[in-house]
Amino acid sequence: MKLTVFGATGGIGQEIVRQALAAGHQVTAVVRAPARLSAQGERLDVFRADLSDAESLRTAVAGCDAVLSGLGARGLKDARDGIAARLTRPVLRAMEAEGVRRLLVVSAAPLAPPTAEREPMLDRVMIGVVSRVLKPVYDDLRVMEDELARSATDWTSVRPPKLTDKPVTGTYRTQVGGNPRSSRAIGRADVAHAMLAMTEDPATVKQGVGVAY
Q: Interacting stretch for ligand NAP, rule CB under 6 A, among 64-72, 91-99, 115-123, 203-211?
A: 64-72
Q: What is the CB neighbour count within 10 angstroms for residue 110? A: 19
Q: Interacting stretch for ligand NAP, rule CB under 6 A, among 65-73, 93-101, 118-126, 168-176?
A: 65-73
Three-class SS of 65-111: CEEEECCCCCCHHHHHCCHHHHHHHHHHHHHHHHCCCEEEEECCHHH
Of residues 102 through 161, those in contact with ligand NAP by CB under 6 A are: 106, 108, 137, 160
67 binds ligand NAP (CB under 6 A): no
Q: In angstroms, give the least distance from the CB of 148 to ligand NAP.
A: 14
35 binds ligand NAP (CB under 6 A): no
Q: In this chain, which of 74, 116, 121, 171 binds ligand NAP, going by CB under 6 A?
A: 74
CB contact at 8 A, 153 and 103: yes
Q: Which residues contact 129 (CB under 8 A, 6 or more apart)?
A: none
Q: Which helix (H) or strand (E) holds 48?
A: strand 44-48
Q: Interacting stretch for ligand NAP, rule CB under 6 A, among 20-28, 58-66, 81-89, 173-181?
A: 81-89
- Give me the residues that bind ligand NAP (CB under 6 A), please: 7, 9-13, 32-33, 36, 51, 70-74, 78, 83-84, 87, 106, 108, 137, 160, 162-163, 188
